[in-house]
Chain A
Amino acid sequence: MADSKENLTIHINEAWCKGCGICIAFCPKKVLGFNENGKVTMLDRENCIKCGMCQMRCPDFAIFLGGKE
């Protein structure tokens, strides 16, 4: 499990993000924010704990944990 988390990172599909702000508001580490287009952006990748709450609450499949490219 720890191993698999190592290889994960947050991915954002900006084209699908509707800028509702839900993932940003409920991220326990407050590492997400809006970019200049009003879409979600990762502000502090170091401090993301890969809990997946943003992925679970995004209504639009626009943010998710996936393998590092």
Chain B
Amino acid sequence: MNHPLAEGFFRMEKLPHIWCPGCGHGIIMASIARAIDKLGLDKDKVCIVSGIGCSSRAPGYMDFNTLHTTHGRALAFATGVKLANPELEVIVIAGDGDLSAIGGNHLIHAARRNIGLTTICFNNNIYGMTGGQYSPTTPTSEKGTTAPYGNIDKPFDITQLAIGAGATYAAKTTAYHVPQMDKLMEAAIAHKGFSLVEAISICPTYYGRKNKKGSAVDMMNFLKDSFIDHKVAEKLPPEKKEGKFLIGEFLNKVEPEYTEQYDKIIAQLKK
């Protein structure tokens, strides 16, 4: 017998995937597939687009229309796909480096336009694929191969960045909080307009080793103990929230969607 999800939604001949033991990316990839299943989307109407990185290998395993593009540019390709065929459900999978370093400009403009794409960021706080260079989400003073004495940069909060740029749906979750992640994925995919889910992943191989974070289980325990839903946090006394990171749905609003506005212009000119 095979895993029910693997059988229906993944390219069985490509599994097992090549990610390291305990890499959080597999947990997030499965959550996306469960959300698509739960929403009952037509598999042929789903298009999954990625750039380059460990995370960006996900579409290679997923049995939908898939597009593996160049580093940082997934959103640019996805914008083209969505404009050409607005009825497709276009989902972008991107690493924190892919999305917020080289691809940062595409992120803010896709959000600003409120184009109907769903972006799932697999945020492991490092460049996994190329061997552990620090990324724009590496916390200050943590280490990477390019920051052997500790990172002096201040990290981006990708969720807040998307909100600031004009996204209409934004949420954050972690590879530990799977039931929450499933719900947020579903809401983000169903959302009309630009939606982003920042899923905190774990990279035991590079981020973990460089920063002495222990095993994959230790890193999952860190996620479990350090992240709380912001709605739960609201009701807690200050001392219980100290040092915690907030997760959950941060924004969900309705604004005109880009491809619809574009189609309106075309209709007007045809009159």
Residues of A within 8 A of B (CB): 11, 13, 15-16, 18-22, 25-26, 53, 55-62, 64, 66-67, 69
Contact = CB atoms under 8 A, between A and B. Distances in A.
A21 B10 contact: no
B16 A20 contact: no
B27 A61 contact: no
Interface in B160-178: 175-176, 178
Q: How large is the interface on B (under 10, 10 to 19, 20 to 34, 35 or more residues)?
A: 20 to 34
7 contacts: A22-B216, A56-B179, A57-B220, A59-B23, A59-B27, A60-B16, A66-B4
Interface in B12-54: 15-17, 19-27, 30
Shortest Cβ-Cβ A-B pairs, 10 listed? A59-B26, A20-B22, A18-B21, A61-B3, A56-B178, A25-B217, A61-B6, A16-B16, A20-B21, A64-B3
B1 interface: yes
A22 B179 contact: no
Contacts, number: 74
Contacts of A16: 15-16
A66 B3 CA distance: 8
Given A60-B16, A66-B4, A25 B179 contact: no
B17 A60 contact: yes
B220 A59 contact: no
B2 interface: yes
Interface of B: 1-6, 10, 15-17, 19-27, 30, 175-176, 178-179, 182, 204, 215-217, 220-221
A22 B1 contact: no
A57 B217 contact: no
Contacts of B27: 56-59
Contact of A59 (B2, B4, B24, B215): B24
Contacts of B15: 16, 61
B178 A18 contact: no
Nearest to B10: A61
Nearest to A65: B4
A66 B24 CA distance: 23
B42 to A, nearest CB: 23
Nearest to A11: B1
Given A20-B216, A21-B216, A26-B220, A59 B19 contact: yes
Contacts of B176: 26, 57
A61 B30 contact: yes
